[in-house]
Structure 1
Amino acid sequence: MNVQDSKALTMKELVVGCSQLDVLPGNIWKNVEKAERLVSENAEKGCRLLIFPEMWSCSFVYSRLREMAETTPHVLERFQEWGRRNEMVLVGSLPERDGDAVFNSSYVIDRTGEIVGKYRKIHLFSYNREHEYFGRGEKSVVCSTSVGRLGIMICYDLRFPELARRLALDGAEILCISALWPTTRINHWSLLLRSRALENQMFVMGCNGCGKEQNLRYGGASAIVSPTGELLAEGKDGEEQVITTLDQDLMTAFRRQIPCFEDRLPGAYNII
C-alpha cells in the first residue's frame, strides 16, 4: 500500500496520550491496578488513544521472565476490558510466551476491546543482552483501528529508520512507540522521536517509562510529535500523563506542501 493511498484519520481532532509509568519490576498486579486507574482518568479527559511503556506489566526481570509471561493472557483480558469499557484504543508491550520462547510483544486493542494488532520486537538490544532472553520478531506491523492506521515499534527499534520508513510506506498515520529508555541516553530518545516524525511526515507518540530498576534509571521524556517535527507535548522525568490533540489536516497539508514520498527514488537506494 502506497503512503498516498492511506485512509485519513477517523477524527479530525483526536485526543491522545502517553501514560508515563514508573513500572515496578516484577510487581505485575500492582502495575495492572495502577494502569487501570490511569486508563479511566485519561478517558475522562477525552483521550481516545493511550500508549503504555515497554513491558508495562513487569519490566525486565530476566530471572522471572517465563513466569511473568504466563500471566500475560490474564493481563491482556484486563487490557481488552479497559479498551471496551472506556471506548479507547490502547497500545503497550508485554512478555508473550510462545512455546519455549518469550517475545517482547506490543498489543493494539481497539475501542471494542478486540486485539487488532500484535508486533514482536524486531531489534533486540544486545548491549543489555535482550537477545539472550527474547525471541526476535520478523515482521513490521501497521494495523487499522477506530482512530486511524497505527505503526508499532518498541524502544530500540527507534534507532532504525528503515523500520519507521517501512511503516510509513505501509500507510501508518501515527507511529506508536513503547519504551524503557534510560536517562543516560535520553537526549538520543528525544532527537530520534522528532527525526522519525519529520522524515516520515507523520505523527509520532513515544511513551517511555520512568523510575529505577537496580542500577538503571529510566528517563521519562515521553513525547508526542507532529509530522513537521514540532513537539506537541513532552513529559519530564517522573510519573505523569502526557496528553495533546492531533489535527489530521496538518499531516495532509504538510505532505502536499513537501511531497517527499512522491519524490522518492527507491531504485537508487537499493534498500527499501
Structure 2
Amino acid sequence: MERKVCAAAVQFNIELGEVEANLQKALAGIRRVREKDARLVVLPEMWSSGYAYKRLAALAEETPRVLEILKGLTAEKNMVTVGSLPEKVDGRIYNTAFVVDNGRIAGRYRKLHLFSTMGEDRFLAAGDAALVVSTSVGRLGVAICYDLRFPELFRKLALEGAEILCVPAEWPKPRQEHWRTLLRARAIENQLFVAAANCCGIQGKLDFFGMSLLISPRGEILAEGGETETELSALFNFEEMTSYRSQIRCYQDRRPEIYGTLP
C-alpha cells in the first residue's frame, strides 16, 4: 500500500505583535487547506507575533493559549501543524517550532542558528538540539529560516530518518533566489520532501516576498506561493521517494570515513 500525505503551507502577512489577528488568519488558512485534504500544514516563523523584539517576553505569554487552540483544531481535523512561536523558558525567549499532532505536542525545535545580522542573538536564546519526530503523517525534520544556510543540520535530519523537512520562515527581499535555491538544494541533496512556509507583506522596514514552496525529493517544485496571502498544497508520495533513492544511491555511496568531523 502506497504511503501518501497531502502537505500544505499557509502564507500570510504577519501583523507585528497582534497575536489574535495572526491566530485567526492561521486558523482560517488551516481550515481551508484541510478542506482540500491536507493533513500536514506548515505555518511561517514567529507567526503569532512577528519579530516584535521589545515585546517578545509579553507576547510569549500568549503562546500556551495559542498552542491549546491548535491542539484542539488538530484533534478535531486529524492533522499535524508545524510553525514557530516565541517561547519563554526560565526567563529566556526562544524561537520555537512546535509540532502539533492530533491534539498533542509531538515535538519542539528551538532555532539553532540565530541571524546575527538582524540582531536575533541579542533578543533570543539559541536552541541546542536538532529534531526528527515521528507523527501521524510521517517522520518530520524541522528547521527554521536561517538554518537553511547550514546544510550540516539537514544532513543530520536526513540521516536520523526524516521523510519531510518542514521549514517555517520569515525570509525577506531581496534574497528570493537564495530562498528558492537553498530549499531545492536541501531537497535534492537529501532526497527528501520539503514543505516551507514564508510570510508575505511588510513588517516595519522589511518586505517579505512569500514564495512558500512544496518540493519533491528530486527538487521538483510541486507548488509555489506568490507574494500575497495564500495557501498551497501538494501530494507527497513516499513510494516515489524510495524509488528515486534506489535509482541514485547517494546514501550508499557516502564516504563518511573521509569527511571526518568538520571543524
Bin the TM-score by the shorter chain: over 0.9
Segments of 5+ residues of structure 1 without an aligned counterpart are 1-9
CA contact (8 A) 1:225 1:231 kept: yes
Please report the TM-score for the alignment, with normalisation by the length of structure 1. Answer: 0.94
3-state SS, counterpart of residue 34 of structure 1: helix
1:186 aligns with 2:176: yes
Match of 2:199 in 1: 209
C-alpha distance in structure 2 between counterparts of 1:186 and 1:82, whole Å: 32
Match of 2:142 in 1: 152
Matched letter for residue 54 of structure 1? E
Match of 1:68 in 2: 59
Q: Which of residues 81, 84, 95 is equivalent to 1:90?
A: 81
The share of aligned pairs that are identical, in percent, is: 45
Question: 1:183-219, CA deviations, whole angstroms, 9 ceiling, x for partnerless residues?
Answer: 2101100000000000000001111000101110111
- Aligned pairs for 1:159-198 (under 5 A) are 159-198=149-188
1:267 aligns with 2:253: no
3-state SS, counterpart of residue 127 of structure 2: coil
- Aligned pairs for 1:221-240 (under 5 A) are 221-240=211-230
CA contact (8 A) 2:14 2:22 kept: yes
C-alpha distance in structure 2 between counterparts of 1:132 and 1:215, whole Å: 18
Matched letter for residue 165 of structure 1? R
Match of 2:114 in 1: 124
Match of 1:141 in 2: 131
Q: CA RMSD in A?
A: 1.1
Q: Which of residues 245, 252, 255 is equivalent to 2:245?
A: 255
Please report the TM-score for the alignment, with normalisation by the length of structure 2. Answer: 0.98
Q: After TM superposition, give the deviation of residue 13 of structure 1 in Å.
A: 2.5
Q: After TM superposition, give the deviation of residue 271 of structure 1 in Å.
A: 2.8
Matched letter for residue 18 of structure 2? N
CA contact (8 A) 2:14 2:47 kept: yes
Matched letter for residue 19 of structure 2? I
Question: How many residue pairs are counted as aligned between the two chains?
Answer: 262
C-alpha distance in structure 2 between counterparts of 1:117 and 1:146, whole Å: 13
Matched letter for residue 213 of structure 2? A
Q: After TM superposition, give the deviation of residue 85 of structure 1 in Å.
A: 1.1
